[in-house]
Amino acid sequence: MFSYHIDQEKNLIKIKAQGKISVMEINNHMDMVVCDEKYKNGMNSIVDLNDTFLKITFDDLPNLKSVLSRHEKIRSACKWAVYVRSNTLQSLINMAIPLLMMKRIKLRVFDNEKDAMAWIES
C-alpha cells in the first residue's frame, strides 16, 4: 500500500510504502500520482520503504523496467530518493538501478530521510 503527499512549494512528492509491494502496485501508485491535480512534471520524489516487503524478484525486473520507462517519459527529468534501513534491500535496489537504465530520472538509495532529502535539495 502506498500513501503520498504532494508539496507543490517544494516541488516534492513524499511517498510512504507499507506492507508487500508488487510491480502492479507500483504502477497503480505512479498512475494515481500523475493524475493528481497537484502533480506537475519534473517533481522530485522521496520514498520511505522502511515498512515494506517487496514482492519483486529479478524475474520481475523487465516488467518494472517497462513501468518505470513509461513513467520516465511522463514525469520528465527529476530525482527519486529512496530510503530504507535494511542493508539487504538497499543492496538489492542498488543492484537493480543499472538494469533499469533510466536516463531522465536519477535514482539513489539512502539509509535515512535526512540524507535522502539533502540529495533531493542539492
Domain of 71, CATH number, reads 3.30.750.24
Domain tally, the chain: 1
Residues of the chain above pLDDT 90, percent: 67
Per the structure, the complete domain to which residue 107 belongs is given by 2-121
The whole-model pTM stands at 0.91
SS3 content of the chain, % helix, strand, coil (to 5): 45, 30, 25
pLDDT in tens, 52-67: 988 888 789 899 999 9
| Type of residue at 33 | V
Q: Virtual CA dihedral for 92, 89, 47, 111, nearest 10 degrees?
A: -110
User: Rounded mean pLDDT of the chain?
Assistant: 93
